[in-house]
């Protein structure tokens, strides 16, 4: 049900026919959802989330949990920070995510045409979930996957501003 709710919230009716992939990066797990023809056609969950990233930072940079959270939020995948040590601490987990995304995309491309009459071309990757705000994650995944990457929060904000004429004014 969570995947369906997320899909409904993120896709406009005009985008239903397009094939998209959603990466929902949470605290303890990540869900990968592929939508095509308005339906969820593939979903998988891996036990890797923001806590994994923080644990890697704590261990590799020898900092406490609070500092690890701060570095994750404020610096993220910046290769230049601290001689690249933070980037190196985050790369193993981010590589697991990108490899799982590649496997999911390959599975979709090789199997879905038998099940659905929709496009095999994924139009974009949408990042959702609290830990998807990792600084630089969108750029990293764009480079690895050769797909446009958008953040769910940006899409929802854009949709609200685009549709602001539909929002009724509040009476005084």
Contact between 57 and 71 under an 8 Å Cβ cutoff? The reply is: yes
pLDDT by 10s per residue, the chain, length 172? 566 666 655 665 555 667 889 999 999 999 999 988 778 889 999 999 999 999 999 999 999 999 999 999 999 999 999 999 999 999 999 999 999 999 999 999 887 665 555 567 898 999 999 899 999 999 999 999 999 999 887 555 555 445 545 555 566 6
Beta bridge partners of 33: 22, 43
3-state secondary structure of 152: helix
Contact between 65 and 82 under an 8 Å Cβ cutoff? The reply is: no
Beta bridge partners of 24: 31, 128
- List Cβ neighbours of 55 (8 Å cut-off, separation of 6 or more): 68
Beta bridge partners of 85: none
Residue tagged 């685009």 (tokens): 162
Beta bridge partners of 156: none
In this structure, is the dihedral angle defined by the CA atoms of residues 101, 149, 158 and 134, taken in order, positive or negative?
positive
- Interatomic CA distance for residues 72 and 167, integer angstroms: 36
- Interatomic CA distance for residues 5 and 8, integer angstroms: 5
DSSP assignment letter at 129: S
- pTM reported for the whole predicted model: 0.81
């Amino acid at each position: 049900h969570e995947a369906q709710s997320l899909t409904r919230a993120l896709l406009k009716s005009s985008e239903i026919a397009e094939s998209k992939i959603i990466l929902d990066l949470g605290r303890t797990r990540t869900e990968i959802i592929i939508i095509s023809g308005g339906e969820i056609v593939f979903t998988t969950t891996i036990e890797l989330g923001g806590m994994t990233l923080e644990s890697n930072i704590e261990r590799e940079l020898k900092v406490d949990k609070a500092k690890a959270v701060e570095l994750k939020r404020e610096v993220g995948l910046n290769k230049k920070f601290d001689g690249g040590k933070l980037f190196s601490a985050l790369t193993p987990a981010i590589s697991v995510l990108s490899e799982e995304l590649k496997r999911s995309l390959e599975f979709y491309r090789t199997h879905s045409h038998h099940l659905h009459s929709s496009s095999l071309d994924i139009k974009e990757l949408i990042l959702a979930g609290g830990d998807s705000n990792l600084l630089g994650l969108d750029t990293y995944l764009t480079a690895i996957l050769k797909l446009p990457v958008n953040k769910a929060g940006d899409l929802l904000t854009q949709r609200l501003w685009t549709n602001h004429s539909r929002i009724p004014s509040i009476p005084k």
